[in-house]
Amino acid sequence: NAGVTQTPKFQVLKTGQSMTLQCAQDMNHEYMSWYRQDPGMGLRLIHYSVGAGITDQGEVPNGYNVSRSTTEDFPLRLLSAAPSQTSVYFCASSYRGTEGNEQYFGPGTRLTVT
Question: Minimum CB separation from other proteins for residue 30, in Å?
Answer: 10
Rg, C-alpha atoms of the chain: 13
41 binds other proteins (CB under 8 A): yes
**Binder among 21, 23, 92, 111 for other proteins (CB under 8 A):** 92
Question: Minimum CB separation from other proteins for residue 50, in Å?
Answer: 6
Q: Are 19 and 11 a contacting pair, CB within 8 Å?
A: yes
48 binds other proteins (CB under 8 A): yes
Stretch that binds other proteins, among 15-23, 61-69, 76-84, 104-112 (CB under 8 A): 104-112
Q: Are 52 and 74 a contacting pair, CB within 8 Å?
A: no
97 binds other proteins (CB under 8 A): no
Query: Most distant CA pair in the chain: distance in Å?
Result: 42
The span from the CA of 85 to the CA of 96, in Å, is 30
Site string for other proteins, 9-28 (x = CB under 8 A): --------------------
CA distances from 91 to 4, 16, 114 (A): 7, 23, 23
The span from the CA of 114 to the CA of 68, in Å, is 29
The contact set with other proteins (CB under 8 A) reads 4, 31, 35, 40-45, 48, 50, 58, 90, 92, 99-108
